[in-house]
Structure 1
Amino acid sequence: MANLTIALDAMGGDHGPPVTIPAALEVLAEYPQLKFIVCGDKYQIVPLINDIALSLQQRIEVLHCPQVVSMGEKPSQALRNKTQSSMRVSLDLVQENRAQACVSAGNTGALLAMAYYVLKMLPGIKRPALVTAIPSAKGHRTYVLDLGANVECDEHILHQFALMGSVLTEKIDLKNPRIGILNVGEEEIKGSGTTKRAARLLKEDKSLNYIGFVEGNDLFTDKADVIVCDGFVGNVAMKACEGLAKAVIESIKSLASENWLSKVFAAIALPMLKKLYRQMNPDQYNGASLLGLRGIVIKSHGNASKEAFKYAIEEAINEIRHQVPEKIGNRIEQALTDRS
């Protein structure tokens, strides 16, 4: 693998440097070709890297940033007033080709606004899309987009999401991925006018393996490799799934403490539950990609643990290695040529 440089927003998220720096150091030790440009408050960052091996220190550059984008800050205010923030400087490094990707756990809306402003869109792409992988019951991954970057989308934007999602699956060596549209039913007569028109576009595009509509209860059944929807639907669906997962875990904990019989049952079920948790563990699916930009931007969960943040960094490495923006640009250019 050629040398890699990632710009790290060390201050983003609920925890900041106590999570982002240890995660970065572990990834650094695993990838000899990797270098970090760490953006943030040097007075918080430097003490966390002082005691590491000199060979690792030499692959870390710290850029002091006097500003931080808070998790509750309005995107417009952050874009206007936080030009010296760790988030903005990280994106500037990608735009200046000093880094090949940016990883941040910061304010999602601010990151979207800044990335759109700083990096601009790839030619022919109307809107960026926020995409992440979710686990299926068969141990595979399904990519869902958009997850909130665009609340309203027309059929042409949904078609572009399908093209971008198809390209993204190439990094896991998946050929001819199955593309579905999230809808209120499988039948062609169901859904909004936009959804129906998008279905016709995807069906007519012979470069896509379009399989039809996918319902919400099929998100985790491995029915499709890429599921397309607008950002409103996608965000609600993902938040509902996260809430359900937390509710199930809390229910199991509560039941296990009720009486001696439930404790015995919990002890018997524990090995199976641990195996299921390892397969479905949300940490390993952390790292949503902002597709359609002239650069790689990975958004980590704001409350990510060290392990989860490591997966976000590794997602950036994979997208650099597979040249995802370049491939998306080529795919969109070909689609526009075919349409003309």
Structure 2
Amino acid sequence: MKVSVALDAMGGDFLAVPNLRGAYAAVAEAATEGTDLKVYLCGPEALLMQTLEEISDDPQQARSSEYRILRSQFEAYLESGRLEIVDCPDFVEMDENPLSAVRSKKKSSMAAAYQLVKSGQAASAISAGNSGAMMAYGIQILGRLSNVRRPAILCHFPSSKGVSALLDAGANVDCRPEHLLQFAQMGILHMQKLFQVEKPEVAILNIGEEEGKGNELVKEAHQLLRKKMPSAYVGFVEGRDILTGKVDVIVCDGFVGNVVLKTAEGVAQAVRSILKEEMSRNPIWGLGAWLAKGGFMAMKNKLDYREYGAAPLIGLNGVGLVAHGSSDARAIHSAIRIGVHYAHSTFLTELSEELARLKEAN
């Protein structure tokens, strides 16, 4: 089965470089495995080709970069159609106002990626760029699934059980109780269909587990979820529970969710940095670290956001994936894997059917 994904090749803090490298690696991996993957590279063609020339001819990259590009092979992928550049005159800046971008940049690289999904040429649109613009373009071009009040960013956290899902991670900073209810419903189906969790449990993120704690939003949402999903809803969890696997789905407004996400990323980076620094202070500790290298690498990979690639904009009428703004080639490569994973899934159809059923039941 041929799978195509559309990549905003200008998305992210580092623009084209990691996107070209990540796309090249994904296509090379697929070719090695005998799978039929195509990646559309959306961006200004002249700039993408100039960047390709600069990084592929860099004598340092062959020695230093895990994601090196062989220009002749890249051009062969272009010739064969495994890679295709979609020329776009504009791209969205990271600090650009999302609504302004949607209005003024109809032919941006981000918009082009979504248009390819809408036309059926690509199964998913991926960008490490401005997440607000990614959501705004998604709603404008793909629209919402029927019965979806607000799409949300769903991110995965490693846990003792595998992964847990948190939403919203930044799309909706102000929410009402019914939004959190729908986030819970979408998160549950996501874990069932994509992670084969038979009976996912859901909780609201709060400052304590006790009844009566929290702001008005979480108090009202608590009563609503307890009424609407008594078998799946288990109450409140605190921030310390996110990585323990206590529940499968955690819901909150996008303001809180984004703070949690960024804090977790910062803590993971700090732990790696501190461990590295401390192990270098003492030769014995360094030897111990070398002996435990496998365990440290497993922990590093589990906590590394690059392994998770991208977060789905759940609730859109199509697949949109947001990667981290500081994504390197490895993160983009992982994001493309996620895009392929969604292409093989019937999740969108099942989500639409489930939301229709829930609406009718209520």
Mapped to 2, the partners of 1:71 and 1:194 lie a distance apart of 30
Are 2:319 and 1:320 equivalent residues in the alignment? no
The TM-score with structure 1 as length reference comes to 0.91
Contact in 1 for aligned 2:272/2:300 (Cα 8 Å): no
Aligned to 1:52: 73
Alignment of 1:113-262 (within 5 A): 113-136=136-159, 138=160, 140-169=162-191, 170-206=193-229, 209-260=232-283
Matched letter for residue 240 of structure 1:
T
Are 2:70 and 1:67 equivalent residues in the alignment? no
CA deviation string 1:59-90 (max 9, x = no partner):
22211111121111111221122112111111
Mapped to 2, the partners of 1:213 and 1:306 lie a distance apart of 37
Are 2:37 and 1:34 equivalent residues in the alignment? yes
CA RMSD, Structure 1 to Structure 2 (Å): 2.2
Aligned to 2:24: 25
- Which of 269, 286, 297 matches 1:274? 297
Report sequence identity in percent: 35
Alignment of 1:1-16 (within 5 A): 2-16=1-15
Q: Single out whichever of 153-162 and 312-321 deviates more from structure 2.
A: 312-321
Contact in 1 for aligned 2:90/2:107 (Cα 8 Å): yes
Q: CA deviation at 1:96?
A: 2.5
Q: CA deviation at 1:202?
A: 2.2
The 1:38–1:264 alpha-carbon spacing in structure 2 relative to 1, beyond 3 Å, is closer
Q: Single out whichever of 270-279 and 5-14 deviates more from structure 2.
A: 270-279
Q: CA deviation at 1:25?
A: 2.5
Q: Single out whichever of 14-23 and 300-309 deviates more from structure 2.
A: 14-23
Q: CA deviation at 1:13?
A: 0.8
Q: CA deviation at 1:267?
A: 4.5
Contact in 2 for aligned 1:202/1:208 (Cα 8 Å): no
Q: Which runs of 5+ in 1 are unaligned?
A: none
The TM-score with structure 2 as length reference comes to 0.86
Mapped to 1, the partners of 2:134 and 2:38 lie a distance apart of 22
Matched letter for residue 188 of structure 2:
S
Are 2:334 and 1:331 equivalent residues in the alignment? no
Mapped to 1, the partners of 2:287 and 2:203 lie a distance apart of 43
Secondary structure, aligned partner of 2:214: coil
User: Structure 1: which 4+ aligned runs deviate by more than 6 Å?
Assistant: none
Contact in 2 for aligned 1:132/1:144 (Cα 8 Å): yes
CA deviation string 1:256-311 (max 9, x = no partner):
34455654555555443223213322211220110111110001111112221111
- Which of 128, 135, 139 matches 1:112? 135
Matched letter for residue 43 of structure 1:
A
Count of aligned pairs between the two proteins: 337
Mapped to 2, the partners of 1:155 and 1:315 lie a distance apart of 30
Q: Single out whichever of 327-336 and 10-19 deviates more from structure 2.
A: 10-19
Q: Which runs of 5+ in 2 are unaligned?
A: 53-69
Mapped to 2, the partners of 1:254 and 1:30 lie a distance apart of 34
The 1:110–1:257 alpha-carbon spacing in structure 2 relative to 1, beyond 3 Å, is same
Contact in 2 for aligned 1:163/1:328 (Cα 8 Å): no
